[in-house]
Structure 1
Amino acid sequence: MSNLTAPARAQASLDATLDPIRVKYALPALAAAVVKEGKLVAVGAVGVRVAGTNMAVTVDDRFHLGSDTKAMTATLAAMMVEEGKLRWNSTIGEVLGADLPNLKPKFAAITLKELLSHTSGIPSDNDEIGKLYFSADAYDHPLPQWRLHMIQAWGSKHDPSFPASGKFHYANLGYITAGAMIEKAAGEPWERLMYERIYEPLGLKTAGLGAQATFGLYDAPVGHRIDDKGKLTPFPWGEPADLPSSLGPAGLAHMSIKDFATWAGWNASEGKRGQELIKPETLKLLHTPVVEMEIKDPKPGTPKSGAYALGWGVSKFAWTDKPILTHNGSNGLNFASIEVDVDHDLAIVVTSNIAGPNVDKASLEVMKTLYETYVK
């Protein structure tokens, strides 16, 4: 399938590899990049920004990363820990209790590490949590205040769904809560911290938050929804184009495939190359498994199997000889996937402007092809 035979070739085009896969799975657009030993060795982007048009995507176009944002939130948390502003065992009650009276005691006892490893007992998104996300009242509050409101609304009524026993339960509300703890410790909104502490130091010039296209312009691959008959509907701007902004710490980053690869490559070096956002030993801790996962029906954005670290899944694929770092992300309209093999200092990222089972299959096919080509 791939005509790539020389991994050392500088920035080989992946277009010829990607386009047959894009067509096979009927995707509007598909992009991928490979970083080996800190160098961008291959990159490509094929398809269109909007289905039914001839607006071709480019390797500099912004794609939505969904839950792949979680590793960035975990990195911000690690910065707060290194600076002595938080501890891994800091509890919700310790950090936010003064702002959030009447939290259930067991909820208040949840730690930062439990939130970041999805072992807090906070459930996955359900109808009650969804009503908090999509409440019209959110527009009456700044984002940090609304995040506190959501935590108060849930935590004053609900204990964790299980005691601290090492169980895995994927929880976006848990990452929103961790984001609020980070905001309290730093004295700045999570959104500013993303720019100041991750995007700018790593030189991620295309990186932003929320829907990837500028309002009123088709200057990025816009998200699409597919109906039962296979019809694609683009959602370019405004509220329908992304999840509510309060979910930022759980999954609202966007950036080009090249910048996504830069982030992945920085992780592949375990912090020993380039900008030192956190100490190498701290980054290694973020990459270290905390809990075993067993996901029967994984949703987009949820790691498939294996273990979960802090913002990262740790899974073995059929084409890897051991578990590697991985995560998927989706806001229901877009898709992003990342693989990081620290032993081979190799990172692969894949993005598309549609969600669903077809893009998941396409991503795995791309990952397998590129991993087998470039791991040598």
Structure 2
Amino acid sequence: MRVLCIFLAVVAFLDSPRAARAEDDLKTILEFTRTKYQVPALAAAVVKDGKLIAAGAVGNRVAGRDLPVSVDDRFHLGSDTKAMTATLAGMMVDEGRLRWNSTIQEVLGPLLPGLRPRFANITLRQLLSNTSGLPPDNEEIGRLYFSPDAVDHPPSDWRLKMISNWGSRHDPSIANVGKFQYANLGYVIAGAMIEKASGKPWERLMYERIFVPLGLKTAGLGAQATFGIYDAAVGHRIDSKGKVTPYPWGEAADLPAALGPAGLAHMSIKDFAAWAGWNAGEGKRGPAILKPETLKLLHKPVVEMQVKDPKTGAMKTGSYALGWGLSKFDWSDKPLLTHNGSNGMNFASILIDPDRDLAIVVATNIAGTRADPATLEVMKSLYAKYSK
């Protein structure tokens, strides 16, 4: 009966004049920002105390076409997927299948003989906090990701082949272990450790352990549009001359499948908000897919970070937890949980204030210099409005 009452209350709110005003206000913010930064589509949603209080989407699924987006359109989340991979790791720890200090050697060593010693001793916690000493993506790592041989292997198998290839030839620099270096390869390795511990592919775990329990019905992996159909906000690239080109389907529409644990999830802005709201609750609300103390541990800072913006040269500071960053903005009174995600064609951003039980998500179907400031501007406006 209590669940029914809550459901009826939510429906009543969504049908109320107050909800309509919130949606209109949000669409006004989104359309102004979308026009200002010339992005094809822009969507955002806000969850407070576990309830969706605002959601909106403006623009088109494909630039230059009259194909309006809706709040049910799927947007690509990029590296915002990392927090989901960290959540799966937390489940394995809760179940005694892994420890935070489980090493690559302990979990994958029997499958991958010949790993170099310092590489083999990297722990799960180091991988998830980007303190393993592994480098950011470089040309050599890129060749592993985009190898033509990858198509001949299931993603789980190719993850192991990439790990073996790299780990048998490279040790992390002693000087870099414990320091923050954003390493997608580290999340690929963490995904493989989760697969070995669970006996299931990472992709299946995402559906069974996160998407289905949290009711994320639009959630999926890979390019967000159905092949041959413009049924989602498809990604776009901008070339050096400013030309915008859509990439709706096929291999070019997303990164290789083996990179899933580092960033290949997609879902609607409302489902993205539901995921964010669950995190904002820090275990106060169901479903109880993690112990509350484990969820809080995922949000706890591990390492200070200073990341140089390659475009402006400015240093971005803050902390990194396990799949989450913590940043103090010039418009926030404290560090907030946040993360950005992009596959080079889309951009998504998430912001969580657990003290206020507030979550904000913003997404667009383009990347680069237009996307980052557009999403940040919307996030700033919504935080100012709903954090009071």
Q: Report what 2:361 is aligned to.
A: 349
Q: Report what 2:197 is aligned to.
A: 185
Query: Paired residue for 2:206, among 190, 194, 197?
Result: 194
Q: Report what 2:11 is aligned to.
A: none
Contact 1:10 1:40 survives alignment (8 Å): no
Tell me the alpha carbon deviations over residues 152-210 of structure 1, each in whole angstroms, 9 at most, x when there is no partner.
00000000123575200000000000000000000000000000000000000000000
Distance of aligned partners of 1:355 and 1:164 in 2 relative to their CA distance in 1, 3 Å threshold: closer
Counterpart code for 1:366: V
Query: Paired residue for 1:308, among 310, 316, 320?
Result: 320
Counterpart code for 1:91: T
Q: What is the CA-CA distance between 1:17 and the residue it aligns to?
A: 1.2
State how far apart, in whole Å, the 1-side matches of 2:317 and 2:204 are.
33
State how far apart, in whole Å, the 2-side matches of 1:304 and 1:66 are.
20
- 2:91 counterpart of 1:79: yes
Q: What is the CA-CA distance between 1:16 and the residue it aligns to?
A: 1.1
Q: Report what 1:66 is aligned to.
A: 78
2:212 alignment partner, SS class: helix
Between Structure 1 and Structure 2, how many residues are aligned?
366
Q: Report what 1:97 is aligned to.
A: 109
Q: Report what 2:300 is aligned to.
A: 288
Tell me the alpha carbon deviations over residues 260-291 of structure 1, each in whole angstroms, 9 at most, x when there is no partner.
00000000000111211101110000000000
Contact 2:82 2:262 survives alignment (8 Å): yes
Tell me the alpha carbon deviations over residues 47-76 of structure 1, each in whole angstroms, 9 at most, x when there is no partner.
000001000000000000000000000000
1:351 alignment partner, SS class: strand
- 2:184 counterpart of 1:175: no
Question: Cα RMSD between the aligned structures?
Answer: 1.3
1:14-53 paired onto structure 2 within 5 Å: 14-53=26-65
1:10 alignment partner, SS class: helix
1:150 alignment partner, SS class: helix
Q: Report what 1:253 is aligned to.
A: 265
2:356 alignment partner, SS class: coil
Q: Which runs of 4+ in 1 moved over 4 A?
A: none
- 2:118 counterpart of 1:118: no
Q: What is the CA-CA distance between 1:357 and the residue it aligns to?
A: 1.4
State how far apart, in whole Å, the 1-side matches of 2:359 and 2:269 are.
12
State how far apart, in whole Å, the 2-side matches of 1:124 and 1:155 are.
15
Counterpart code for 1:174: G
Q: Report what 1:138 is aligned to.
A: 150
Distance of aligned partners of 1:305 and 1:298 in 2 relative to their CA distance in 1, 3 Å threshold: farther
Query: Paired residue for 2:340, among 328, 334, 337?
Result: 328
1:261-276 paired onto structure 2 within 5 Å: 261-276=273-288
Identity of aligned residues (%): 73
> 221-230 or 97-106: which moved more?
221-230
> 267-276 or 10-19: which moved more?
10-19
State how far apart, in whole Å, the 2-side matches of 1:166 and 1:312 are.
17
Give the structure-2-normalised TM-score: 0.93
Contact 1:176 1:249 survives alignment (8 Å): yes
Distance of aligned partners of 1:286 and 1:295 in 2 relative to their CA distance in 1, 3 Å threshold: same
Q: Report what 1:235 is aligned to.
A: 247
2:319 alignment partner, SS class: strand
State how far apart, in whole Å, the 1-side matches of 2:170 and 2:148 are.
22
Q: What is the CA-CA distance between 1:359 and the residue it aligns to?
A: 1.1
Q: What is the CA-CA distance between 1:10 and the residue it aligns to?
A: 3.4
1:320 alignment partner, SS class: coil
Q: What is the CA-CA distance between 1:319 and the residue it aligns to?
A: 1.1
Structure 2's unaligned 5+ residue stretches are: 1-16
2:213 alignment partner, SS class: helix
State how far apart, in whole Å, the 2-side matches of 1:230 and 1:124 are.
27
Q: What is the CA-CA distance between 1:358 and the residue it aligns to?
A: 1.4
Contact 1:9 1:41 survives alignment (8 Å): no
